[in-house]
Structure 1
Amino acid sequence: MDKELVVIIKLLLEKTLVTIKDLEDDTGLTTRQVTYRLNKVNNLLKSNGSEIIALKHKKDIILKSEIRDSLLEILNEYSKENIYYLSKDERLTFIYLTLFINLEYLSLNHFINSMKVSRSSVLCNIKELEDILKESNIYIKNNRTLGYYLVGPEVEIRRFMISFASKSLSGNRDCKILDLLIDEYDLDSFKDSRDIISKLANDHNITFVEDRLQDFIYIYIFLKSRMLSNEKKEYPISKLSNISVMESMKEYDFVKDLLKNHGNIDNIKPFDLNYISAWIIGISVGNIKDKTADMAIISRMVIKIMKRFENISGFHYIDQEKIFEQLYSHFRSAYYRLLFKLPIDNPLCERVKEEYKELYKIVKETMKPFNDLFEQEIPEDEIGYLTIHFGAILFNEREHTISTKKIALITCSGGVGSSALLYAELNNLFPELNFLLPVEISKLKEFEESVDIVFTSNYYDEVIKLKKPIIKVNPVMTLKEKNNIKRDVSILLGNGLLKQPKVEEVISIIKKYVQVSSESMLYNELAAYFYNMENLNHTKNTGITLSNMINENLICFNVKANNWEDAIRNSAAALVDNKVVTSEYVDSMVNIAKDSGPYIVVTKHVALPHAKPEDGAKETAMGIGILENPIHFGNKANDPVKYVFSLSSLDNEKHLQAMSELIGLLEDEEFYSVLDNAQNAKEVMDYIKSCEL
């Protein structure tokens, strides 16, 4: 059985209902190729003595429980198969991880025999791997005494190992390549390691993010093999912040107990204990109630992030304590990943950048001051996760009413942020359903009798075995996916939730009479149209551009000020004069600036004061004040301030697109030149409009 067939079977099992179009989109195969593989699936079902999937003239596939059970049996048999042919990407992973575990001697013949490919294929794969690694100063060396081996910064070598292992697990929906490596080199078994780690996690009260636990077990197996080798490794310990505090943490005790299970650990260096401890923290859920030794520093950073986001976005928190706890639970793990340069694969990152591009840009700008602390630009995958958290905060503070027609349950294995975002998104999408709070996979069985439908973010046996309708969802959904989910829920519950036409059926009618040049583009436009008909809020559909928020009457030159309070009041005077805000709103801006201190100075020479909508905002707008003489606001990094952008907003969302555009302008030196040299406000407005084109 080939891997594409395995993927088809897993996609069938991931949903109670699936369409041929879904399978095409998820696999990249044509209708003919999907149909061919479904016929192969039916042949497997026949040989298993099971009823087959009805395909003739059917676009929607709803698996019967008997077929589902039989497909699970087929997958179990596949996992036991010994013959497996590696793809090119898997061969690169195999070579790198083999080099990483630091066997005594590796020859070219070793790779040829292990991967069952030709000499030329192995040489090509090694060359391609060398090209990937050299950008990080990692090199593959070869000599008669040592064979093939890795040379380079140890932290970078480990980072690539984690990256290769994680991508193997997330990309193929299949961990067989890693199991092959473990069997080939007689490393610790995954099952035994999982049992030990699960027991110790329970003993030490450590809660892993479910999606990351499997990654860690495999990574630990490979990492321990390298740590126990005799090679002397150098670490840039001096560059790290004071990490001795880690020795007081439960994660450190967990790692010591974990390593004791493997007998002789004399070769394990102090840095290795901290390194694995950091990785444990990096994939576990932080809790402010734990009162850890690092709580003060993490808390200070979370507060800085919250304040900077609030000042850049114009967003005002309703429940600051709850939001702080949510961000803390994520950022404690992110802090150690960044400190030890541990990579984390965020499969939602590209989707977040597309679906929440304005919010992503604001979060990225929020995190810029932290680049120096971690001696690197914050990776996009980390920015993506933070965007998910802020997206969840934004959605959860909307008002909506939930009826109790049907009870729905969500299980999301991606962590606190993904669960919160998915909960908020589905609540907005289905106000007719009563959603229980998200639960962990391990607790799913407890709710089986009390719910009508289950939404899940991942493929797990526990979900598939439930005798309830199941909808597979992404924490970050496109408009197309939202339409498909509404269709699926309507079909499975039969409760009239679907109030819009089926996009596929509309396209079929159109194609009878006209030639469609791009079916995918037509699909997306129709999906967006039908979606918007239902007035479902989404930031990308309700945004206001910067040029719509600013007008010539709100731009003031040569604003006089003796201090920072004068600078705010005099720059915002145009907002009051034009009845955009009340004078009380300006008072609140000053008071908030007093509380926030230098945080309103968001970048070099730029202050961004604002207040809450209820403090006296009458319109969503922005004023620009160019000070006659720069003023110190108390921000050592960005003083003195010359430009004051005064924001007024009627809610927390509609201005986010404009703020994203403003961030772009604040990185543009020409914009400042225009502000400094413009003869009138029209020149400034013309420049702002030109940047939106």
Structure 2
Amino acid sequence: MKDRTARLLNRLVSAELPISIKALSEEFQLSARTMRNEINELNDYLSQQDFPLVYSLRGKGMKLQLNKKEEEMLLATLKADKKNEFLNREERILDLILAIGLAKDKVFLFHKEEEFQVSKSTVDEDMRRIRELLKEYGVNVLSIPKEGLILRGKEKSIRTMLYSIINKAIGTVSLTDQYKNQSLKQKIIFRYIPITMISKIDRIYDSCISASEDNYYRKNLVTFTSICIARFLNKKKIENTIWLKRDIYTNKIIEVFVETVFYTFGIKDALNEFNYLTFILETLNQQDMNTSIDWVQAQLLSIQLIQHVENQTHIPFSKKEEVLQEGLYQHIASLLNRVRYDVQFSNPLKENIQKSYDMIYRAVNSFAPVINQLTGKEISQDEIAFLVIHFSTSLSELNQEVAYYYRAVVICNHGTATGRLLSENLKELFNIEVLAVLSSREIGLIEKLDADLVFSTLPIEAMNKPLLVLEPIIKEDDKEIIHHFLEQNKEHRRISKNYQDMTHIFHSLLQVIDSQVGDVSKDVYEKLAEIFKENQFLVNKRELQPMIQDILEDEHIILQAEAKDWQDLIQIVSEPLVKDETITQQYVQAMIDSVNEFGPYIVIGKHLALAHARPEDGANRLGLSVATVKDPICFGHDENDPVKIIFCLSAVDSFSHLNIMKYLVQLINDEEKTKQLDDVTTIEDFKKILFND
């Protein structure tokens, strides 16, 4: 029996309800006609073994009805009957690429012909397709006498290529998953990156980063690190890291992780490798304003993206702006680096996301040119699908009812955003209250939660609570399965609860704290917000954020400034904030150093600049100043120079300045207002135009 037919049999055996041909076709990536042929082949096998056949239930799908004894006998027969597995073209291409890129021994095509048991012309066609595939990575395959096949290209490009190929091959499965029934692609990967190496790196992740976390970040970090170590041990090294920016703001936790990995595998005196790996792993992480030089650009992009998608889809995403903006901002901050340095995530759920959320996908995709222009690179469809997940989750929140009848826990190994998407879909469609989204490493917490049902994206050990295994994205066929599952567990229904909007009480408490102890710190704010969340009290943080007119004081407005150059202009606009100790002189120098290092990224619109640095560079409190320029100054921006108006922003957290950022987005899109502001000569006129008075 073919491996694909065996997988189909296992799928039908494990399904409690009928599965439509359409759902099977999507799952196995086959046409409906080919899927019917597969079922016919499967029925031939079942008939020969005297087992019941797969049959069609009108309007519902395909079903294989077995009793317990028949199921056990069938699976045992299947295991005993399993013959040598022959690779199809896709699997041969994967094996060839990994062999050339990671094998310790030389690779010759005639050896591969014998190993695959195929003709020379077949392998020649495999190699033609490989060469075409690797072009997009700037990598070529050469055949050298006595040396065999080798990869030609920059080492960082080769590693990125291997990372992408492996990610696409394993799909939603982590390399650290060691199920008894490994897929053929997993077996191929483990031939060239030993599972022992991967397991060691995964355990180091446990000790250095998180023992409970299990998401896309962990999967990608372990995968990429494994590739780098395998290449280095095969004497394929990063020759220099001159192409890296000097200050990469690497998280200390990442540095400790890489140091431990190097120690474990006996790697010494490899500074270039260390700098390269720590930098790339940092780009894979979702970043906040304390670690990313792009924090302002990421927040501007997230605000613009929400407005764009809302305009395109007419879905009121701004009602869920608080959580949506925060999730998008952190994702985009790391995405910008990934795009720049060609290490974009592979998204195994891309096709399902495209089909399930087509309108949102098209809206996000139409915004992609803005990101492409900023980075100078093209954002992949896989990365676009990750952005769609954030919007899809908010859409579920907008549609859901506020009454809940079941309490449940969601187990998901595909990352926080994907877990939240499944959670919100369950709440929207089935009146389910999800108490927590956990990874498989946190299963022990289930018994401590007051939950009745468990939904999981992967098989887990049996427990004392009803369990249903689902795909991360709920499709039409899944709805019937979930409904059937809930019907079977009616006794677990709970009395409904209603959430309450407690924004006014939250604000009152902040005022009390402020009157007693002074300015409310970020820690106090977040702890109070968490208490409200735990007690199911809604707080609209957007209503608590100051407007631009609340922050911009007369003393912070400078008109017709005379500056020698852009460095002098930054000094001038920041002077009022230094004078009242909103920022330090160190913050001013950090702004200048950042432009010297990263270019004119602070020029955010036509003739408009926003000077800023990271909070720890010397921001004492939220503040804003602005200067118009008598003689416009060039920063070196190809499209938006010369600068006529420059703002200086001091931000101390990721949320309190968002209304200011939203106003600046409006200003970017209003060149006429920028011109009017540049022409005024009095502070009163400036404020009247700026604040729309």
TM-score (norm 1): 0.60
CA contact (8 A) 2:397 2:428 kept: no
Q: Which amino acid aligns with 2:148?
A: G
Q: 1:265 to 1:354 in 2, by over 3 A?
A: same
Classify the secondary structure of the residue corresponding to 2:171: helix
Give the distance between the partners of 2:232 and 2:69, measured in 1 at CA. Answer: 47
1:262 equivalenced with 2:265 (yes/no): yes
Partner-residue secondary structure (3-state), 1:346 = coil
The one-letter code of the counterpart of 2:7 is V
Residue 265 of structure 1 deviates from its aligned partner by 3.9
Is 1:419–2:419 an aligned residue pair?
A: yes
How far 1:100 moved relative to its partner?
A: 1.0
Shift of 1:99: 1.2
- What's the CA shift string for 1:398-436, capped at 9, x where partnerless? 5622232x43432222212212222222212112x4433
Out of 291, 297, 305, the position equivalent to 1:294 is: 291
Cα 1:143–1:633 shift into 2, 3 Å: farther
Q: What whole-Å deviation, never above 9, does each CA across 1:633-662 have from its counterpart, x for those lacking one?
A: 78xxxxxxxxxxxxxxxxxxxxxxxxxxxx
- Matching residue of 1:620: none
Paired residues for 1:424-443 under 5 Å: 424-431=424-431, 433-443=432-442
Q: Which residues of structure 2 form unaligned runs of 5+?
A: 174-180, 494-657, 679-693
- C-alpha distance in 2 between matches for 1:329 and 1:450: 31
* CA distance in 2 between partners of 1:31 and 1:107 (Å): 39
CA distance in 1, matches of 2:220, 2:287: 22
Taking the TM superposition and a 5 Å limit, the aligned residue runs for 1:670-689 are: none
In 1, Cα distance between equivalents of 2:54 and 2:488? 19
CA contact (8 A) 1:13 1:464 kept: no
> SS of the counterpart of 1:17?
coil
Task: State the match for 1:304 in structure 2.
Answer: 300
The 2-side partners of 1:407 and 1:450 are apart by 7
Q: Secondary structure at the match of 2:164?
A: helix
Amino acid at match of 1:415: G
Give the SS at the match of 1:205.
Answer: coil
Assess, with a 3 A threshold, how the Cα gap between structure 1 residues 384 and 180 changes in structure 2: closer, same or farther.
closer
Aligned 1:632-647 pairs, distance under 5 A: none
After superposition, give the CA deviation of every residue in 1:471-521 in whole Å (9 maximum; x if it has no partner): 42342x45x346544554466457999xxxxxxxxxxxxxxxxxxxxxxxx
2:254 is aligned with 1:251 = yes
Question: What residue is the counterpart of 1:163 in the other structure?
Answer: 164
What is the distance in 1 between the residues matched to 2:221 and 2:78?
Answer: 24
Partner of 2:19: 19
1:525-536 aligned within 5 A: none
Q: Which amino acid aligns with 1:421?
A: L
Structure 1 residue 138 corresponds to structure 2 residue 139: yes
Change in Cα spacing, 1:253 to 1:199, as seen in structure 2 (3 Å) is closer
Counterpart Cα distance in 1 of 2:257 and 2:80:
35
Alignment-mate amino acid for residue 193 of structure 1: I
Task: Quote how far apart the aligned CAs of 1:467 are.
Answer: 6.8
Distance 1:232 1:430, change over 3 A: closer
Separation in structure 2 between the aligned mates of residue 64 and residue 333 of structure 1, nearest angstrom? 51
Q: Flag the structure with more relative contact order, 1 or 2, with Cα contacts below 8 A and sequence separation at least 6.
A: 1
Letter in 2 for 1:436: L
What per-residue deviation string (whole Å, max 9, x for no partner) do you get for residues 557-613 of structure 1? Answer: xxxxxxxxxxxxxxxxxxxxxxxxxxxxxxxxxxx997633302566xx68xxxxxx
* Alpha-carbon distance change, 280 to 596 in structure 1, aligned in 2, over 3 angstroms: closer
Aligned-partner residue type, residue 294 of structure 1:
T
Name the amino acid aligned to 1:597: Y
1:16, 1:470 within 8 Å by CA — same for their partners in 2?
Answer: no
**1:177 matched to 2:185:** yes
| Alpha-carbon contact 1:20-1:60 (below 8 Å) kept | no
The answer on whether the counterparts of 2:55 and 2:64 sit within 8 Å (CA) in structure 1 is no
Q: Which amino acid aligns with 1:598?
A: L
- Against the structure 1 CA distance between its residues 66 and 99, is the aligned structure 2 distance closer, same or farther, given a 3 Å change threshold? same
What secondary structure, in the 3-state scheme, does the structure 2 residue paired with 1:85 have?
A: coil
Distance 2:233 2:130 in 1: 25
For residue 84 of structure 2, give the secondary structure of its aligned residue in structure 1.
coil
**Percentage of matched positions with identical amino acids:** 17
Residue 354 and residue 179 in structure 1: after superposition, are their counterparts in 2 closer, same or farther (change >3 A)?
closer
Partner residue, 2:198:
193
Q: Any conservation in 1 of the 2:407–2:433 contact (CA below 8 Å)?
A: yes
Cα distance in 2, alignment partners of residues 231 and 196 from structure 1:
19
Asked if the contact 1:353/1:360 (under 8 Å) is kept, the reply is yes
| Correspondent of 2:460 among 452, 459, 462 | 462
Q: AA paired with 1:599?
A: V
CA contact (8 A) 1:15 1:471 kept: no
Equivalents in 1 of 2:660, 2:443: separation in Å?
A: 48
Q: Which residue of 2 aligns with 1:89?
A: 90
- Counterparts of 1:215-294 in structure 2, within 5 Å, are 217=222, 219-231=224-236, 233=238, 237-246=241-250, 248-266=251-269, 268=270, 270=272, 272-278=273-279, 280-281=281-282, 286=286, 294=291
SS at the partner of 2:348?
coil
8 Å CA contact 2:412, 2:472 repeated in 1: no
Q: Is the contact made by 1:307 and 1:596 (CA closer than 8 Å) also made in structure 2?
A: yes
Q: How much has 1:14 moved relative to structure 2?
A: 6.2
Distance across 2 between alignment mates of 1:327 and 1:67: 50
CA distance in 1 between counterparts of 2:71 and 2:668 reads 55
Name the residue aligned to 2:210. 205
Tell me by how many angstroms 1:87 deviates.
Answer: 0.9
Is residue 597 of structure 1 aligned with residue 663 of structure 2?
A: yes
**Other-structure match for 1:621:** none
Cα RMSD for the two superposed structures: 4.3
CA 307–325 in structure 1, closer or farther in 2 if over 3 Å, else same: closer
- The 3-state SS of whatever aligns with 1:388 is helix
| Whole-Å separation in 1 of the counterparts to 2:328 and 2:73 | 43
Change (3 A) 1:276 1:86: farther
Question: Is contact 1:210-1:414 (8 Å) kept?
Answer: yes
Cα distance change on mapping 1:422 and 1:593 into 2, 3 Å: closer
Q: 1:123 to 1:24 in 2, by over 3 A?
A: closer
**Cα displacement (A) at 1:123:** 2.0
SS in 1 for 2:87: coil
Q: Distance in 2 between matches of 1:335 and 1:65?
A: 53
| 2:109/2:123 contact within 8 Å kept | yes
Mapped partners of 2:660, 2:109: distance in 1: 67
Contact 1:17 1:60 in 2 (8 A): yes
Taking the aligned partners of 1:331 and 1:13, their CA distance within structure 2 comes to 42
1:37 aligns with 2:42: yes
* Residues 281-322 of structure 1: per-residue CA shift (max 9 Å, x gap): 4665x475xx8x515x35434422332134433656457654
Moved more, 372-381 or 330-339: 330-339
Give the Cα separation in 2 of the matches to 1:327 and 1:259.
33
Distance 1:4 1:409, change over 3 A: same
- Cα distance in 1 between the residues matched to 2:450 and 2:43: 34
1:361-411 per-residue CA deviation (whole Å, 9 max, x = no partner) reads 44345554433443302222111111111221343245622232x434322
What secondary structure, in the 3-state scheme, does the structure 2 residue paired with 1:438 have?
Answer: strand
Does the residue aligned with 2:107 lie in a helix, a strand or coil?
coil
User: Secondary structure at the residue paired with 1:384?
Assistant: helix
For residues 414 and 75 of structure 1, the distance between their equivalents in structure 2, rounded to whole angstroms, comes to 31
1:396 aligns with 2:397: yes
